[in-house]
Amino acid sequence: MDTDRLRNSWHVVSGFGSQVPLFFYSTLFLTHPQVREMFPAGMSGQRDKLLGALGKVVANVDNLDAAVPFLQQLGRDHRKFAVTDEHYPAVGQALLSTLEHFLGQDWTPALARDWTAAYGLVSDVMATAARESAQASPPWYNAEVVRHERRTAEVAVLVVRADRPLGYLPGQSVAVETHLRPRIWRYYSPANAPREDGIIELHVRMIDGGPVSSALVQAVAPGDLLRLGSPVGVKLTVEHKQDVVLIAGGTGLAPFKAMLGQFANEGFQRQVHLFVGARTGHDFHDLTGIRAFGRALPRLRVTPVVSEDRGFPGARGLVGEIALRYGPWPDQDIYVCGSPTMVAATGEMALAAGIAAERLHFEDFSGYDSLAEPGPGIFQGDNSA
C-alpha cells in the first residue's frame, strides 16, 4: 500500500472544501436512505465531522498501531448512533465514490485498491471493538438528572445518575444527548472519579449557538433523562506515579476534579499543583469543590488565576502563562484542559519554555489531527469553550 499516495490524494480532495462532505452525504443518503435517520436533522456546520476524521484516519493508515486505542473507543462510541457491522461498507462505498468524483483522472485502479484496503483496516478495528463491547455494555446509557445548579451566568453543574456504571477513567469524556436536541451529541468530561452508583457530575458551559450546551444549562431539570455514550479519550488520563501540574481554563476544570478524586484514592501522595483560570473572580464555578480535596491531598496546591479582573486579590494573567511562571517543572507531567485557544496558547508557551512535548498532555477530542501530526493537539469538547 502506497501511503504517500493515499495522503496526497486526500490532500487534493480536501482542497474542494465544503463540496466534499456535501457530495459524500448526498451519495450516502441516496444509496442507503436507511442511515439518514442516524444523523441530526439539520446537519449544517457539522457536516464534515465524520468525513474529516475518516479521510485523515484512513490516509494515515501507516500509523494505525498508534491509532488503535482511539479507533476502538470510536467504534464502541458509534454504537450510540445504532451503527452496526453492515453500515461500514455503506460508508466505505460513499467514501470511494467521493474520492473518485473529486480526483477525476487521478483516481486509478491502484489508488482505489489502496483506499479500499486502508478503509477495510480502519473500519475493521472499529467494528470489532463495537462487536466485542456489545457483550458487556449497552449501546448507550440512560442517565437521570438528579441535581441541576446554575453556578454562574454561563455555567451549570449537573449531577446525573446513569442506569449502570460507565467504567470511565478520570480524564476521559462521554458524549451527552438530551431529548430536547435529539441526535446531537456533545462530549463532556465527568468531574468525579467513577462511582459504583453511576453518579456523574458534569460541568457545562453555555456556548453561543451550541444547541446541546444551551439546553443543558438553561432547560434541563431534575427528573429529565439524558443519554450518555461510551467513554472516550486517550490523552488526559494519568496512569503513572509522577507529580503533576494541571492547568484548567473554565469548565476544563472537570477532568482535573475527577483526577483529584482518583489521586485521593491512591495509596501514595503525589504533588499536584492545580491552576484554575477564569475571566473574573465571579467566574470560578467550583473552587469550593476543589478545595474540599485539601484534607485528602495534603500535597495539593490550588492557584486561581483571573485574566480580566483588576480587583482580584490573587494571580492575574493568562492561566497558562502564570502556571509556567510558577515553574520550572523539571519532572512534572503537565496536563492542560480548556478552550481550544487556551490549550493551543498554553501548549506553545510550554514548548517555548523548554518543556518536552512528551510531558505535555492535552486531549484532541477528535483525535484525528494527532494521528496525522503526533504532538500537541487541541481539545475540542464543549467542556472547554
Interacting residue ranges for ligand HEM, rule: CB under 6 A: 35, 38-40, 43, 46, 49-50, 53-54, 57, 74, 78, 81, 83, 87-88, 91, 122-123, 126, 175, 185, 366
Residue 279 φ then ψ, to 5°: -70, -50
CB of 56 to ligand HEM, least distance (A): 9
CB of 187 to ligand HEM, least distance (A): 7
CB of 78 to ligand HEM, least distance (A): 6
- Strands 272-278, 244-249: parallel, antiparallel or unpaired by DSSP? parallel
The residue number with the shortest CB distance to ligand HEM is 53
Q: Which is nearer to ligand HEM, 31 or 218 (CB)?
A: 31
Q: Which is nearer to ligand HEM, 6 or 159 (CB)?
A: 6
Q: Which is nearer to ligand HEM, 78 or 203 (CB)?
A: 78
- CA 222 to CA 143: how far, in whole Å? 11
Q: Which is nearer to ligand HEM, 140 or 185 (CB)?
A: 185
Q: Which is nearer to ligand HEM, 7 or 78 (CB)?
A: 78
Q: What is the DSSP string of 364-375?
A: -TT-HHHHHS-S
112-to-95, 106, 107, 117, 213 alpha-carbon distances in Å? 11, 10, 7, 9, 41
Pick the closest to residue 151 from 41, 59, 286 (CA basis): 286
CB of 260 to ligand HEM, least distance (A): 27
Q: Could you say which DSSP state residue 215 is in?
A: I
Q: Which is nearer to ligand HEM, 277 or 381 (CB)?
A: 381
CB contact at 8 A, 128 and 75: yes
Pick the closest to residue 226 from 163, 144, 155, 157 (CA basis): 144
CB of 89 to ligand HEM, least distance (A): 8
CB contact at 8 A, 200 and 192: yes
Q: Which is nearer to ligand HEM, 83 or 345 (CB)?
A: 83
CB of 84 to ligand HEM, least distance (A): 8
Taking the CA atoms of 318, 320, 326 and 328 in sequence, report the sign of the dihedral they define. negative
Which residues, including other chains, have CB under 8 Å from residue 263's CB and lie 6 or more apart?
270, 272, 297, 300
In sequence order, what E strands does the chain have? 141-150, 155-162, 174-178, 186-188, 199-205, 225-228, 244-249, 272-278, 300-306, 315-316, 333-337, 360-361
- CA 192 to CA 17: how far, in whole Å? 40
Q: Which is nearer to ligand HEM, 177 or 286 (CB)?
A: 177
- CA 317 to CA 319: how far, in whole Å? 6
CB of 172 to ligand HEM, least distance (A): 14
CB of 192 to ligand HEM, least distance (A): 23
Place of cell 491502484: 110
CB of 245 to ligand HEM, least distance (A): 28
Q: Which is nearer to ligand HEM, 54 or 258 (CB)?
A: 54
